[in-house]
Chains A and B, each alone.
Chain A
């Protein structure tokens, strides 16, 4: 699909409401520190997100109780804040996976990117 122009505004609209769950999925299999986490998401060109804009999102997830943080010393440099998935975050991620499958399946069948 390279060379295809993305529709104005569509990436931002798709990102809203899905990016949070990408974060939850990244920390699902083990904790991750901030620089590592935002670097991984910002490295996906299709998500079109800068590293800095992920920090307000992480703060939101923390307040919702879906992720928790702990400080850990590092052999190099300052202490790092590690992010982990909480029990309620795990539930939210499971619910999202179900809903996303339904949603993207329906859209895919209708717009023709997936077999009916």
Chain B
């Protein structure tokens, strides 16, 4: 950043991320957190490369796109990644993809066709409308793909020949510091647990036994 950021710029960024979080309220928490983390990182890196003006921040957010659209993509994925969907074979999946897309394109389902229509073509118009409306109004969300009955058609899940390896766990954010492990305590040598008090008691006991034996011997001798 060539100029220090102002509270106003921070506010723009926070409002944007809050809009994403609100739109993503129904996503699985891990997905939502991951999305917010990815977008925060993008904004931080992009700001470090921009002029550091408010217009620059607005441009970064504008290029990222409307929160509802971003979340619609993530939501679509959350459903497509359903493990039940992964259980079907590749051929079957491709058949579903074809059937699904054909179904939409011929307009048999007006809702789905509208959803598709809404995601293309008029982007410039919608951006202009948004600019007039102000930052991310909480109005009705655009129709989303996930409303479709067969959500098995998307994503990189269709393995073309090799099944992808089990998903690596997502490294949430810069790795947490490795935990400090104290070195194991060495085993105590045998006998090390005897305290001086125990020694004194032992000595007294032994001495008493010897005294009793001695007195017994003396008594026998006299008798």
Please tell me if the beta carbons of A42 and B73 are within 8 angstroms of each other in the complex. no
CB distance from B37 to the nearest CB of A (A): 9
Query: Residue A61 at the B interface, CB < 8 A?
Result: yes
Chain A residues touching B, range: 35 or more
If the complex has contacts A13-B101, A58-B38, A77-B44, are A88 and B162 also in contact, measured as CB distance less than 8 A? yes
Query: Residue A28 at the B interface, CB < 8 A?
Result: no
If the complex has contacts A55-B38, A76-B49, are A60 and B77 also in contact, measured as CB distance less than 8 A? yes
Query: Residue B189 at the A interface, CB < 8 A?
Result: no
Contact string, A52-77, partner B, CB cutoff 8 A, digits 1/0? 11011111111111101101001011
Query: Residue B13 at the A interface, CB < 8 A?
Result: no
Please tell me if the beta carbons of B156 and A64 are within 8 angstroms of each other in the complex. yes
Contact string, B40-57, partner A, CB cutoff 8 A, digits 1/0? 011011111100000000
Query: Residue B217 at the A interface, CB < 8 A?
Result: no
Please tell me if the beta carbons of B38 and A48 are within 8 angstroms of each other in the complex. no
If the complex has contacts A16-B153, A35-B49, A64-B157, are A57 and B65 also in contact, measured as CB distance less than 8 A? no
Q: Give B52-73 interface residues, CB cut-off 8 Å to A.
A: 63-67, 69-70, 72-73
Which residue of chain A has its CB nearest to the CB of B157? A64
Query: Residue B187 at the A interface, CB < 8 A?
Result: no
CB distance from A102 to the nearest CB of B (A): 12
List residues of chain B with CB within 8 A of the CB of A62: 167-168, 170
Query: Residue B21 at the A interface, CB < 8 A?
Result: no
Which 8 pairs between the two chains have the least Cβ-Cβ distance?
A77-B48, A50-B65, A9-B116, A52-B64, A95-B160, A63-B167, A56-B74, A52-B70
